[in-house]
Chains A and B, each alone.
Chain A
Amino acid sequence: MTKPDFAALQDALAPGALLTGEAQLAAYSYDGASARGRPEAVALPRSAEEVRRVVELCRRRGIPYVARGAGTNLSGGSVPLRGGVVLCLARLDRILRIDTSALCAVVEPGVVNLKLQEELERTGHYYAPDPSSFRVSTIGGNIAENSGGPRCLKYGVTTDHVLALEAVMPGGELARFSAEDAGPELMSLLVGSEGTLGVVTKAWLRILPLPAAVRTVLAGFPSVEAAVRCVSALIAAGVVPRALEALDRATVATVSAYRKAGYPDTEAVLLIEMDGSAESTAREAAEVERLLAVHGASEVRSAEQAEDRERLWEGRRGAYAACARLAPNVLVEDGVVPRDRLPEVVRRIRDISARHGIQPALLFHAGDGNIHPNIAYDERDPEQTRRVKAAGQEMLRACVELGGSLSGEHGIGTEKREAMRWLHAPRALRLFRDIKAAIDPEGLANPGKMWPDEDSGEEPLARPPRPLSAQARLLAEKVKACAGQGRPMAVRGSGSRWKGVPPDCAELATARLDAVLDWDQGNYTITVEAGVSARSLRAELASQGFHLRLPELGGSLGGILATKAWPGLREDVLGARLILADGEVVDLGGKVVKNVAGYDVPRLVLGSWGTLGVIVDVTLRLHSSPVELRAPGEPRPFAAGTWQRRVKAAFDPRNLLNPWFCAQP
């Protein structure tokens, strides 16, 4: 940065909001992970307008910038790798409105999660996402990372609780995105984008009434494997606790050294929490205690009063922070696998640890299949650091090999960029880069994060790609052929929402993509092709006691998703496979209920009306109980706005798929 850059920055900010001293810059060169990068200036704005001015100035002058909140990121995502400006949003910390009748809270990004919870509690409400850092981390950071937390087992991760966002986009424009917008879900794209697409300046969040009853159960197990097997059994039995956490002996010992948690002296501990009405909670608790007994649990304790429950939670809450007692640094990995693969991943982690001579303490959001091996080390010892990092990477690789993902809630940041190659094929990585380039052509918003550099070589995927059905392969070949000829295409499902195919377009019919590819009853997920009839799928699932949160709607499942005919399905979309406009296939998301490895494309395509790609199949989360839902009115086609056109350009630069939506005016 040059002298005029600093002067301009000073002008853009209120007095006292710009830090440039060496020590001050050093204090913004780290987060909770191990990466370092020193900024050239730190801006501490108090208003969205100041944020906008800084972003605009950065764009004009070509200065990179990184937005951050409390800097508790665990993947190096908030470290300014390329210098420039740190936009620290900690002072944008006002809770603007709490509307209990609309169940909505409007907050600035610097509001600390706990402060929001405290305010909501006064009104008898709460905000579901509760990352372990909730006492200090900010809502803005939670949104950027799509944070989870113990409660997200039942209530979903941050993206499921965001209703709308106001953000300063890389061009310096203030934009608003809502889950209710027609067209591709740009709001979902921003959530979990790790600050690479825009800076959130205001968030509308969904809040929930506090449950009438909560019950917490703690149980000891003779082995970690036994504990996680019990977890799978609980889920398979259709019990939906709001939290289902597991700790191994090493973790319990670490916490107990600091705070007497009073946990059983067993190889593993499960912490299970149910909420709801008094009756349903008691019923679930009885079922849980029955299953615990069946699966060899010992020393089962149960608590209902807030104080007693808090005591049971104390050990779990401190588990990560307590590792700080063991050594100066803690590497906390964040792998995620389908729940039923937990015993296997535990075995693999043990092998890897033995090979590298390390002793991780294991901590799981077991209900989500999310595992945090905590490895204490001292970064001042390069040899030890190398071993720990290598082991960490191997653990992530094992998660991917077992059908999981690199990150459940901490993000990719800098630490897992290279590992993205194991999870995503080059075409998918290119798609992420293209989306980034379309929204942020100058590449100034948090550069150097989330995926590996393009020219840094290739590595084979850690698990083989899923084979396409014959029908899907045919469709992909057709798209490729059309793309070769530059011929426009029209995607058509069952024809229930949209019928006509313009004469100049080749028809891409998905109706014959009608296979159920994988119905994992133990894991409560299903992967189905897009042409499957929603009605028959519902009926088939219901006959076995499984439920989709989908009202009585006709047409194909793909059609419902592409037209957003039932927006509520958004919360249950875990993964999607798309044929892109060039005929290439990308497979994003998967069978895991938490996944923050890359942009949330499966949600982005909701409401895209076939303009971004052809949905081949989707993976959905299933439920053990039906919910009465009222079918909505007709879905609205969208008129493409600036951002939708930009995203379209990333997916389909020649506008070949359903081209009339984005025709030049």
Chain B
Amino acid sequence: MTLQLKRLLTDLGEKSSYDAASQCCRCGYCEQACPTYVVTGDETRSARGRNQLVRLLMEQKLADPASARDGLDTCLLCGACTAACYAQVATADIVLEGRRMLSAEPHRLARALTWLMAEHRELLGLLLKAANLAKRLGLTALARPVLRLIGLPGLALAEEHVQEAPLTFLHEILRRRPPAADPQWLYFAACGSDFLYPRVGEATVAVLEALRGEGDFMDNGCCGLLAYNYGDAADARAAARRNIARFEAAGGQGPVVGDCSSCVAFLKSYPQLFLSEPDWRKRAERFAAAVRDVPEVLAAAPLPGARLPATTCHDSCRACHGQGLKDEARAAVRRLAGASYRELAESDMCCGGAGAYAFRNPALSDDLVRRKASRIAATGARLAVASGTSCLIQLAQGLKKYYPECEVVHISELAARALAQGDIDGTQAGA
């Protein structure tokens, strides 16, 4: 039996999941914020529709509960609806409660991956290296069955999307760093940065060193988001406990800086996992209060201007909707790019990456990334900036397909590049 949270921490206080779902008054003002409604025109795939479906599930008013699966499974969990809602109805959390009601067993792949990501990162690293090596050797066809065989069919699919195949992972690189004498920050390596984009993590660390002085790698485990979204909430809770404990062991001083907006948003939501455990809730609140996303760090920092091609900024959903960081990334990119900055229409609309979404709903995901690529193309940008690693995966393959003139980089990479250039050129902090 999958564990439901039963209680949620909403903008209107702590509520039962049922009360949280019932808070939706069906005004429909969220509809045009919901990417899947915008591209399908289908109420079932709208935020309002999903809240109603979960409410009906909870009221046991659906004779065929499984018929709600499509509506709930197609939710991106981007949170744009919540941001548009005056009552801030927490649709993503509510949808997840609905999904948990529908699945008797947590997703096998999600459980396996969580187990690897949270507790057995070396083993995961080994498996991925084998796959990546196969890929580099042009043996993609070989890598896929291997991944399937070891119970990672989703990753086999993911593997087709991921353009890069690192052979050295971020945690291996960062563990070689000497510990800081007086750490000013802790770096939380998101799994995406660790296993897919070590260059992003290295850039984040470089940026932190340049802006905040010395600091330490937290040597964390998975944030637990994968388990929360697709697997067992109990696994997510276990992951949270481990990370909180590690933070406390490292002195309990922040800021804890992460470089995947989805993970960071989830770290900030840890208190919701412990509503029935007052001690842990307090510890989670202290931890969450110390967590920062890269755009937050950059928004307040002096940044040099950089020589960049036309550059635009995509708002990663879990930064702008999940954490309310609506202007931070844009403000930083604008300062970095100066006159090369281009405003992006629908910048806060999900690109369709959304974690494992692209693998689970390929057609919808492709509709969304095509729309995103066309908006990016309309700006004429040659460089698109994002702050989530699943955005990086999605935009890399989407741009390659629909607007190959443009490449995508993480905001840390852009900042690191500018800071390095700034040093060389002696450029002053940008205007």
B223 to chain A, nearest CB (A): 29
In the complex the two chains form, what is the Cα distance from A329 to B89 in whole Å? Answer: 13
Assess the A72–B28 pair: CB atoms within 8 A: yes
In the complex the two chains form, what is the Cα distance from A44 to B40 in whole Å? Answer: 10
- Which residues 296-336 of A have a CB within 8 angstroms of B? 318, 320-325, 328-330
Q: Does A358 contact B (CB under 8 A)?
A: no
Assess the B25–A330 pair: CB atoms within 8 A: yes
Q: Does B75 contact A (CB under 8 A)?
A: no
Q: Does B404 contact A (CB under 8 A)?
A: no
In the complex the two chains form, what is the Cα distance from A27 to B28 in whole Å? Answer: 12
Query: In the complex, which residues of chain A have a beta carbon less than 8 angstroms from the beta carbon of B22?
Result: 328, 378, 380
Query: In the complex, which residues of chain A have a beta carbon less than 8 angstroms from the beta carbon of B53?
Result: 23, 26-27
- Residue in A88, A114, A318, A378 whose CB lies within 8 Å of B32: A114
Query: In the complex, which residues of chain A have a beta carbon less than 8 angstroms from the beta carbon of B12?
Result: 325
Query: In the complex, which residues of chain A have a beta carbon less than 8 angstroms from the beta carbon of B85?
Result: 321, 324
In the complex the two chains form, what is the Cα distance from A380 to B18 in whole Å? Answer: 12
Segment of A28-36, A345-353, A404-412 in the binding face = A28-36
Q: Does B4 contact A (CB under 8 A)?
A: no
Using CB atoms, name the residue of chain B closest to A86. Answer: B43
Q: Does A505 contact B (CB under 8 A)?
A: no
In the complex the two chains form, what is the Cα distance from A26 to B55 in whole Å? Answer: 11
Query: In the complex, which residues of chain A have a beta carbon less than 8 angstroms from the beta carbon of B32?
Result: 112, 114, 135-136
Q: Does A21 contact B (CB under 8 A)?
A: yes
Assess the B62–A23 pair: CB atoms within 8 A: yes
With A136-B28, A321-B29, A328-B25 as given contacts, are A24 and B71 in contact (CB-CB < 8 Å)?
Answer: yes
In the complex the two chains form, what is the Cα distance from A21 to B44 in whole Å? Answer: 10
A31 to chain B, nearest CB (A): 7
Query: In the complex, which residues of chain B have a beta carbon less than 8 angstroms from the beta carbon of A6?
Result: none
In the complex the two chains form, what is the Cα distance from A19 to B49 in whole Å? Answer: 14
In the complex the two chains form, what is the Cα distance from A21 to B42 in whole Å? Answer: 13
Query: In the complex, which residues of chain A have a beta carbon less than 8 angstroms from the beta carbon of B70?
Result: 21, 23-24
- Residue in A110, A258, A329 whose CB lies within 8 Å of B41: A110
Q: Does A40 contact B (CB under 8 A)?
A: no
Query: In the complex, which residues of chain B have a beta carbon less than 8 angstroms from the beta carbon of A112?
Result: 32
Assess the B28–A32 pair: CB atoms within 8 A: yes
Query: In the complex, which residues of chain A have a beta carbon less than 8 angstroms from the beta carbon of B30?
Result: 136
In the complex the two chains form, what is the Cα distance from A325 to B86 in whole Å? Answer: 7
Assess the A32–B24 pair: CB atoms within 8 A: no
Assess the A70–B42 pair: CB atoms within 8 A: no
- Which residues 41-94 of B have a CB within 8 angstroms of A? 41-44, 46, 49, 52-53, 56, 61-65, 67-71, 85-89
- Which residues 328-377 of B have a CB within 8 angstroms of A? none
Query: In the complex, which residues of chain A have a beta carbon less than 8 angstroms from the beta carbon of B46?
Result: 27
Q: Does A22 contact B (CB under 8 A)?
A: yes
With A31-B26, A318-B86, A321-B86 as given contacts, are A70 and B56 in contact (CB-CB < 8 Å)?
Answer: no
B48 to chain A, nearest CB (A): 8
In the complex the two chains form, what is the Cα distance from A133 to B48 in whole Å? Answer: 15
Assess the A27–B86 pair: CB atoms within 8 A: no
Interface string of A1-32 (1 = CB under 8 A from B): 00000000000000000010111101110111
A6 to chain B, nearest CB (A): 16
Query: In the complex, which residues of chain A have a beta carbon less than 8 angstroms from the beta carbon of B42?
Result: 19, 24, 44, 90
A447 to chain B, nearest CB (A): 21
In the complex the two chains form, what is the Cα distance from A135 to B53 in whole Å? Answer: 23
Assess the A88–B86 pair: CB atoms within 8 A: no
Assess the A26–B62 pair: CB atoms within 8 A: yes
Assess the A28–B43 pair: CB atoms within 8 A: yes
In the complex the two chains form, what is the Cα distance from A114 to B28 in whole Å? Answer: 14
Q: Does A387 contact B (CB under 8 A)?
A: no
- Residue in A22, A27, A71, A380 whose CB lies within 8 Å of B64: A22
Q: Does B31 contact A (CB under 8 A)?
A: yes
A310 to chain B, nearest CB (A): 16
Assess the B41–A27 pair: CB atoms within 8 A: no
Assess the A93–B41 pair: CB atoms within 8 A: yes
In the complex the two chains form, what is the Cα distance from A325 to B28 in whole Å? Answer: 14
Q: Does A91 contact B (CB under 8 A)?
A: yes
A150 to chain B, nearest CB (A): 16
With A23-B53, A114-B32, A325-B86 as given contacts, are A32 and B71 in contact (CB-CB < 8 Å)?
Answer: no
- Residue in B41, B52, B71 whose CB lies within 8 Å of A90: B41
Assess the B49–A27 pair: CB atoms within 8 A: yes
With A21-B70, A26-B56, A26-B62 as given contacts, are A321 and B27 in contact (CB-CB < 8 Å)?
Answer: yes
In the complex the two chains form, what is the Cα distance from A378 to B24 in whole Å? Answer: 11
Query: In the complex, which residues of chain A have a beta carbon less than 8 angstroms from the beta carbon of B184?
Result: none
With A27-B71, A318-B86 as given contacts, are A133 and B29 in contact (CB-CB < 8 Å)?
Answer: yes
In the complex the two chains form, what is the Cα distance from A90 to B19 in whole Å? Answer: 30
Query: In the complex, which residues of chain A have a beta carbon less than 8 angstroms from the beta carbon of B44?
Result: 19, 21, 23-24, 27
Using CB atoms, name the residue of chain A closest to B65. Answer: A23
- Residue in A19, A26, A72, A91 whose CB lies within 8 Å of B27: A72
Q: Does B23 contact A (CB under 8 A)?
A: yes
Using CB atoms, name the residue of chain B closest to A132. Answer: B29
- Residue in B23, B61, B68, B69 whose CB lies within 8 Å of A324: B23
Assess the A88–B41 pair: CB atoms within 8 A: yes
B197 to chain A, nearest CB (A): 36
Query: In the complex, which residues of chain B have a beta carbon less than 8 angstroms from the beta carbon of A136?
Result: 28-32
In the complex the two chains form, what is the Cα distance from A91 to B64 in whole Å? Answer: 27
In the complex the two chains form, what is the Cα distance from A250 to B97 in whole Å? Answer: 34
Query: In the complex, which residues of chain B have a beta carbon less than 8 angstroms from the beta carbon of A135?
Result: 29, 32
In the complex the two chains form, what is the Cα distance from A324 to B11 in whole Å? Answer: 12
Query: In the complex, which residues of chain A have a beta carbon less than 8 angstroms from the beta carbon of B26?
Result: 30-32
Assess the B27–A320 pair: CB atoms within 8 A: yes
Assess the A325–B87 pair: CB atoms within 8 A: yes
Assess the A71–B62 pair: CB atoms within 8 A: no
In the complex the two chains form, what is the Cα distance from A91 to B67 in whole Å? Answer: 22
Assess the A324–B52 pair: CB atoms within 8 A: no
Assess the B52–A30 pair: CB atoms within 8 A: yes
Interface string of A100-116 (1 = CB under 8 A from B): 00000000001010100
With A44-B42, A88-B43, A91-B41 as given contacts, are A329 and B25 in contact (CB-CB < 8 Å)?
Answer: yes
Query: In the complex, which residues of chain B have a beta carbon less than 8 angstroms from the beta carbon of A72?
Result: 27-29, 31
- Residue in A27, A114, A133 whose CB lies within 8 Å of B43: A27
Query: In the complex, which residues of chain B have a beta carbon less than 8 angstroms from the beta carbon of A137?
Result: 28
In the complex the two chains form, what is the Cα distance from A22 to B53 in whole Å? Answer: 10
In the complex the two chains form, what is the Cα distance from A405 to B86 in whole Å? Answer: 30
Query: In the complex, which residues of chain B have a beta carbon less than 8 angstroms from the beta carbon of A23?
Result: 44, 53, 56, 62, 64-65, 67-71
Query: In the complex, which residues of chain A have a beta carbon less than 8 angstroms from the beta carbon of B64?
Result: 21-23
Assess the B86–A324 pair: CB atoms within 8 A: yes
Query: In the complex, which residues of chain B have a beta carbon less than 8 angstroms from the beta carbon of A24?
Result: 42, 44, 67, 70-71
In the complex the two chains form, what is the Cα distance from A136 to B41 in whole Å? Answer: 11
Using CB atoms, name the residue of chain B closest to A325. Answer: B87
Interface string of A357-393 (1 = CB under 8 A from B): 0000000000000000000001010000000000000
B423 to chain A, nearest CB (A): 38
Assess the A328–B27 pair: CB atoms within 8 A: no
Query: In the complex, which residues of chain B have a beta carbon less than 8 angstroms from the beta carbon of A378?
Result: 22
In the complex the two chains form, what is the Cα distance from A318 to B41 in whole Å? Answer: 24
Assess the A133–B41 pair: CB atoms within 8 A: no
In the complex the two chains form, what is the Cα distance from A53 to B229 in whole Å? Answer: 42
Interface string of B201-228 (1 = CB under 8 A from A): 0000000000000000000000000000
Report A's interface with B, CB cutoff 8 A.
19, 21-24, 26-28, 30-32, 44, 70-72, 88, 90-91, 93, 110, 112, 114, 133, 135-137, 258, 318, 320-325, 328-330, 378, 380
6 shortest A-B CB distances, which residue pairs? Answer: A90-B41, A23-B68, A23-B67, A321-B86, A324-B87, A21-B67
A sample of 25 inter-chain contacts (CB < 8 A) reads A19-B42, A19-B44, A22-B67, A23-B62, A23-B64, A23-B65, A24-B70, A26-B53, A27-B71, A30-B26, A31-B26, A72-B28, A90-B41, A90-B42, A90-B43, A91-B41, A133-B27, A135-B29, A136-B30, A318-B86, A321-B27, A323-B86, A324-B85, A325-B87, A329-B25
Given contacts A21-B67, A21-B70, A136-B30, 12 further A-B contacts (CB under 8 A): A19-B42, A24-B42, A27-B53, A27-B71, A72-B31, A133-B27, A136-B29, A136-B31, A258-B86, A324-B89, A328-B22, A330-B25
